[in-house]
Chain A
Amino acid sequence: MPNIRVEYFAILREHVGQTSEELQTNAKTVAQLFDELDGRYQFPKMVNLKVAINDEFGEWNSALTDGDSVVFIPPVAGG
């Protein structure tokens, strides 16, 4: 099972109660990983959630590989 690091920001960080975690998962894609974590944490519902893999924007159907770092990006609000 690949070992994945997940980082949480803003509303997700507060919801989960931690800034990051390392976990082993059977998830093959980022979307599957999100579903797995959503089952555990019941994330707040958000439209237009984006994802980053290894500090670059990624796709939900991107394959996970061992050592990947994943960030779920809630709708942004800079400025």
Chain B
Amino acid sequence: MKSFEFSGCSLDLDQLREKLFDPAAGAYVGFEGWVRDHNEGRQVQRLEYEAYEELGAKEGERIVEDAKSRFGVTEARCVHRTGQLEIGDLAVWVGVSSPHRDEAFAACRYIIDQVKHRVPIWKKEQYVDGDSGWINCERCDAGAPAIDIYPDIKAVDDRK
């Protein structure tokens, strides 16, 4: 099972989630990114994702594997859609299982944030008014993502 994948067709959430089951895991956190009907004041009709899959899969796996060791979770996985998507479609899914919930939440948040800023995927929005445009992520101008916004896993270790 690859920890990061692209998919050209819609995702089966039950099947994805099932692969994270583990007898030692007491928590599962899932994130679903959906296609929204508006962005920056414009009405979006549909969108298209294009990925540089060879590099994207490698970078995505590095992110998920990094999250697993950084937060000590049992299992983690991310799948990102490519191709044409309609409003409400599932664009990206992150799932994390772990013994306790805190590290699962933290790892899930870490993975989606890193994926958005590091994996070579591009989004083209088609607007209701007939126009279209490639979206650049908001933080690209600011350079590397701010890793230190994530609480050190030791800081949430008092849950036990």
Using a CB–CB distance below 8 Å, which chain A residues touch chain B? 7, 9-11, 13, 46-48, 52, 55-57, 71, 73-79
Contact status B55-A79, CB under 8 Å: no
Contact status B143-A55, CB under 8 Å: no
Also in contact, A10 and B92, with CB within 8 A (given A56-B58, A74-B134, A75-B140):
no
Contact status B55-A77, CB under 8 Å: no
User: Please, which residues of chain A bring their CB within 8 A of the CB of B116?
Assistant: 76-79
Bound complex: CA of A75 vs CA of B120, how far in Å?
8
Contact status B112-A74, CB under 8 Å: no
In the complex, besides A71-B55, A75-B140, 4 extra interface pairs with C-beta distance below 8 angstroms are A11-B134, A48-B140, A74-B122, A76-B117
Most buried by B among A47, A48, A76: A76
Q: For the side of the interface on B, what is the size category? A: 20 to 34
A interface SS class: loop
Asked if B50 is at the interface (CB within 8 A of a chain A CB), the reply is yes
User: Please, which residues of chain A bring their CB within 8 A of the CB of B123?
Assistant: 77-78
User: Please, which residues of chain B bring their CB within 8 A of the CB of A47?
Assistant: 140-141
Bound complex: CA of A48 vs CA of B134, how far in Å?
15
Contact status B91-A76, CB under 8 Å: no
Cβ distance B54 to chain A, nearest Cβ, rounded Å: 4
Bound complex: CA of A9 vs CA of B120, how far in Å?
9
Asked if B101 is at the interface (CB within 8 A of a chain A CB), the reply is no
